[in-house]
Amino acid sequence: MSDRLPAALTRRRASLPLLAVALCLPPFYLDAFWLRIGLFSMAAAIGAVGLALLSGTAGQLSLGHAFFLAVGAYGYAWLAGEPGPGLPPALAALLAVLLAGAAGGLFSPVAARVKGVYLGIATLALVFLGHHVLLTADSVTGGFNGRSVPPLTLGGFAFARSDPEPTVLGVPFGAEERLWYLGLALFAFTWFTARGLLRSRPGRALAALRDSETAASVMGVDVARHRSAAFVVSSMYAGLAGVLLALAFRRVVPDYFSLALSVDYLAMIVIGGLGSVAGATAGAVFVTALPLLMTRYADQLPLVTAPGSAEGAVGPTEAARYLYGAAIVLVLLYAPDGLHGLARRARDRVRRRRSRAPAPDAVVPPPSQPTAARTKEHTP
């Protein structure tokens, strides 16, 4: 009996509803700071899944992800806001995603013909172009100061703070609490559609394309069409992430959508493990939440002083940066196939040990070792 619950936890079918329930809990306990981190992580996860499809599965490198995020975020803010057409927000959100897809489609003639690093350089241009347009097209983007994002409303229910604040089980539900569930829903949608896509014919065709272009085309895969389709789908996920980000930020500014953001997304899929949805999610949470949390709690560490207090000491932000850098090095060193690979190896080991000796203590996760059996490694 004692090993029943932990055993169930490692099983997919049982862990899914449990995970879903666990993810519904935070708004009841955590304050706005934590919920915002969660929202940023969920938005990043949606975007990272899109990039994982493109880079991990189709083997295409894109540095233009920040551009498509910006199209989604600004597209929503403009379509739903004033000045702008002032459409119903839900429709605007849908159109913003389609707009990001259309932007990807416009670029897809390039994406279909250029591959690997060359596509990376070509997409680099998008980020700079996008940033310039965001700064100069004042009437649409609001210029340097950006524009405020109208809250999303679905059938009379607004994902924003309202007076008086409604309470659920005694907990006041403000903007962050409500957006959390919207984020969860969008993330679940992304999770299932992306997994479905990866396991379907097009997903396998893309993987074949990544491994060998010649072999794939001999098998009857239309190289150019699949490449551009992957690019469009990836930019639509980025657009969706952009909409959620805009709702979480409540105001979009051009400086956020810089090259550094694109690089962050690449870091997410590499740290998480190329080519898997779960990996992209884990990487997104790692890259988004870790620096924020470390900055917040670094002042609890020894030798770290309060910001701006003394001379020459290490402040919380510096300490957080060192720690974050060290964490990345550790992950890449001990989990070269990413967090996803690490989790899979740990699970395999648990399963193997249990089948050998089904003792209650068998479920203690063993320390991960770099020598563990490693499955196929992707070459980027």
Per the CB < 8 A criterion, the answer to whether 42 and 189 are in contact is no
Furthest-apart CA atoms within the chain: distance in Å? 68
* End-to-end CA gap in the chain: 45
Is 253 a binding residue for other proteins by CB under 8 A? The answer is yes
Is 301 a binding residue for other proteins by CB under 8 A? The answer is no
| Shorter beta-carbon distance to other proteins: residue 150 or 239 | 150
DSSP, res 304: B
DSSP-derived 3-state class of residue 22: helix
Residues of span 12-51 touching other proteins by CB under 8 A: 13-14, 17-18, 21-22, 24-25, 28-33, 36-37, 40
**Angle of helix 223-249 versus helix 89-113 axis, rounded to 10:** 140
- State the virtual CA torsion across 19, 203, 265, 339 in degrees, nearest 10: 50
Contacting residue, 50, 59, 315, 338, with other proteins by CB under 8 A: 315
| Residues in Cβ contact with 10 at an 8 Å cutoff, skipping those fewer than 6 apart | 347, 350, 351, 363
- Beta carbon of residue 115, minimum distance to other proteins (angstroms, whole number): 30
- Beta carbon of residue 7, minimum distance to other proteins (angstroms, whole number): 8
- Beta carbon of residue 32, minimum distance to other proteins (angstroms, whole number): 5
| Shorter beta-carbon distance to other proteins: residue 61 or 134 | 134
| Shorter beta-carbon distance to other proteins: residue 207 or 363 | 363
- Beta carbon of residue 250, minimum distance to other proteins (angstroms, whole number): 5
Residues of span 47-106 touching other proteins by CB under 8 A: none
Best CA proximity match to 257, nearest among 356, 174, 140, 141:
141
Q: Is 110 exposed, middle or buried (0-12, 13-18, 19+ CB in 10 A)?
A: middle
- Map residues 127-166 to x or -, x wherever contact with other proteins holds by CB under 8 A: --------x-------xxxx-x------------x-----
Contacting residue, 199, 225, 251, 374, with other proteins by CB under 8 A: 251
Is 11 a binding residue for other proteins by CB under 8 A? The answer is yes
| Shorter beta-carbon distance to other proteins: residue 309 or 379 | 309
Contacting residue, 166, 307, 358, 360, with other proteins by CB under 8 A: 307
| Shorter beta-carbon distance to other proteins: residue 34 or 231 | 34
- Beta carbon of residue 133, minimum distance to other proteins (angstroms, whole number): 13
- Beta carbon of residue 179, minimum distance to other proteins (angstroms, whole number): 12
- Beta carbon of residue 357, minimum distance to other proteins (angstroms, whole number): 18
Is 347 a binding residue for other proteins by CB under 8 A? The answer is no
Q: Is 263 exposed, middle or buried (0-12, 13-18, 19+ CB in 10 A)?
A: middle
Judged by phi (left if over 0) then psi (alpha if -120 to 50, else beta), residue 325 lies in alpha
H-type alpha helices, the chain: 4-9, 12-24, 26-29, 32-51, 65-80, 89-113, 116-136, 138-141, 175-199, 201-211, 213-218, 223-249, 259-272, 277-297, 316-334, 338-356
Interaction site with other proteins (CB under 8 A) = 4-5, 7-8, 11, 13-14, 17-18, 21-22, 24-25, 28-33, 36-37, 40, 135, 143-146, 148, 161, 169-172, 176, 249-251, 253-256, 291-292, 295-296, 306-309, 311, 315-318, 321
